[in-house]
Chain A
Amino acid sequence: MTMQKRKLSPRDYLEENPHVRGILRIVVAIVLTIIAGLLVVMAINVYTWQGFVVRTSKSLVNGLAFSMLLFLMVSGFYLIFGLCDVINFAHGAFFMLGGFLGFVVYLETEAVFLDPNLPFQLFFGTNYYALSVTAFVVSALAATAIMTLIGGGIEFFTIRRLYGNPIAQILLTVGFMFIISQIAEIVWGPPQFTYFILPNSQIYFFFMSGVIDFGGGLLFETYRIFLIFLGLTVAVLMFLGFRKTRIGLQIQAGIEDSEMVEALGTDIRRLFTLVFMLGAGLAGLAGAVLVPQIGANSGHGLTYLIYAFVIVVIGGAHYGRFEGTFFGALIVGLSTQFALYFIPELENIIVFIIMVIILIIKPGGLTGHE
């Protein structure tokens, strides 16, 4: 009797030989370091040392700012997908609508603050800096609140009826994506128009000309630093909420097994509505605070929906952890900005290249299982 020899795939071989795996890991690390070193040398050669430092720091700051905002938007998309099993195609549209709401509320609030017939003039005086910041915060909060209600309403009145029916859910959320985008187009015009808050508006003093100078050509806009702090604050609050509160733990547990969470006595439907509200609210917040950088545009819905997909896939969609979304957002945000400053041709495709590489090495994403 002959034993049939089992065919070993490279993955099985590595699984069974930890020492080979260890050596391979070191080799990969060395090769990556060499490639990174070569890239740095090439970049210094092209841009000079001073140019390299400036570009690197700018990519880093802008990339971090962008990552944090992506994280705000995508965390909601991930939670809705993870807990409710709904791929929310309307999430980009939530983000886009948040942008328009922030834009409109900002202008209205600023007009009210500047109205000589109202008492706000007494309060702000000629301190336009405080005025613009207050108006901006009001616009961000208003966009968050309105999107929270819209998200909760959409879940409560429509999606709630379709749990367990994925095809109908996809059709429904795609439908909402088109409805919200079309309404935005009717009200604010097609994607060819982008609305920026003009430099003659008071916000100019805060965002567009506000810089922090570290010397040596290292100038950073106050706005970007603000974005990083806002994103980090929300991220820290969410991480704490997920670790320290019962409801946060229930959401995490529900992502793994929502039926079991319900069998332990939690009203899972209420949790679903809550997650939808949280997700839509965060998308609205991200849209509103990004207006000074990317403007409000009825085409943003689709563009940022694609970012959401890429980040969730990189982070680990299935059985993945919330942290995966954070790292996914960091990878996407930083890589696009580094590409923009060093290899502008790659700006739009770098995230897809990285996604393909990560999926080849870890098919389940950074934190997910296969």
Chain B
Amino acid sequence: MKNLLEIQNAHVYIGSFYILQGISLVVPKGEVTLLLGRNGSGKTTTMKAILGIYPPREGNILFKGEEISDLPTHKIVSKGIGYVPDTRRIFGNLTVEQNLIVSRRKGGLKDEVQDRLNLIFELFPDMSRFFKQKARTLSGGQQQMLAVARALMNDNDLLLIDEPTEGLSPLLAKNLIAALDRLKEFATILLVEQNFRTVSQLGDNFYIFDNGKIVHEGSDMNKLMADKALVAQYLGVSI
């Protein structure tokens, strides 16, 4: 199976608002697929549609060839999807360690997850330092590391990562992108990013969203960056 995830003509409403107006996309296995576009163009809603938080009223979502759009959220993610939300949404009253325990779908932090913890500490060496600290006392960058680490606590084939560099300093953003680059070895990634230049070397394929529709797709990031008219029209002025 080449495509790990496939969305076919999905129409998604949030309340009475018609957000995704028939989008179709594929996420090939082992690759990084970028969702680009301005604020409010439907990128995050696409992620939430995959997760079943806003299930599509029409259309299909296939994960590993299996229809998932009519399943509840916890069953969808249990099939092997990790989620890193845009505003981090870590559990502030819990410690970093407890945040990771909560993220385990079964079992706690016993021996069998030592490999995962080792990978997390390798990606984010700082984390061992604030492992026992309450998550709400962490800085923005540390919280983002925790949000990514949470998605690595289970055997996930697909990682949905929403705006990971939002609010981070350029240096922190660069470190995080390096960590994501390393993650490509372990999982397929669907990445939402507004600031597409920071992730341009990461992406294998991209889709550009505008007003709930996909207006452009491709796999050559360099060509996209050179296309000034396209960038100005759909990706704002962040050149």
Contacts and interface: CB of A to CB of B under 8 A. Distances in A.
A257 B102 CA distance: 12
Given A249-B94, A321-B93, A259 B74 contact: no
B132 interface: no
Given A246-B108, A252-B94, A260-B85, A265 B77 contact: yes
Contacts of B9: none
B104 interface: yes
A266 interface: yes
Interface residues of B, number: 25
Residue among B53, B77, B93, B154 facing the most chain A CB atoms (10 A cut-off): B93
A261 B78 CA distance: 12
B73 interface: yes
A262 interface: yes
B146 interface: no
Residue among A243, A249, A260, A265 facing the most chain B CB atoms (10 A cut-off): A265
Contact of B74 (A246, A252, A255, A265): A265
Contacts of A264: 77, 83, 102-103, 105, 150
A218 interface: no
A165 to B, nearest CB: 13
A264 B102 CA distance: 8
Nearest to A260: B89
Given A263-B77, A263-B85, A264-B83, A257 B91 contact: yes
Nearest to B83: A263
Nearest to A250: B102
B93 A257 contact: no
A249 B98 contact: yes
A267 interface: yes
Contact of A262 (B73, B91, B93, B103): B73
Interface in A243-285: 243, 246, 249-250, 252-253, 255-257, 259-269
B93 A252 contact: yes
B89 A257 contact: yes
- Say what secondary structure dominates the interface of chain B: loop
Nearest to B156: A265
B53 A259 contact: yes
Interface string B53-95: 1000000000000000000111001100001010001011110
Residue among A255, A261, A268 facing the most chain B CB atoms (10 A cut-off): A261
Contacts of B103: 264-265
A265 B105 contact: yes
B85 A265 contact: no
Residue among B83, B101, B154 facing the most chain A CB atoms (10 A cut-off): B101
Interface in B166-209: none
B12 to A, nearest CB: 16
B85 A261 contact: no
A252 to B, nearest CB: 6
Contacts of A265: 74, 77-78, 103, 105, 154
B68 to A, nearest CB: 13
A250 B93 CA distance: 12
Contacts of A267: 72, 74
A243 B132 CA distance: 13
Contacts of B154: 265
Interface of B: 51, 53, 72-74, 77-78, 83, 85, 89, 91-94, 98-99, 101-105, 107-108, 150, 154
Interface of A: 243, 246, 249-250, 252-253, 255-257, 259-269, 319, 321
19 contacts: A243-B98, A246-B101, A246-B102, A249-B102, A250-B102, A252-B91, A253-B102, A256-B93, A257-B91, A260-B85, A260-B89, A260-B91, A262-B74, A263-B51, A265-B77, A265-B154, A266-B102, A267-B74, A319-B93
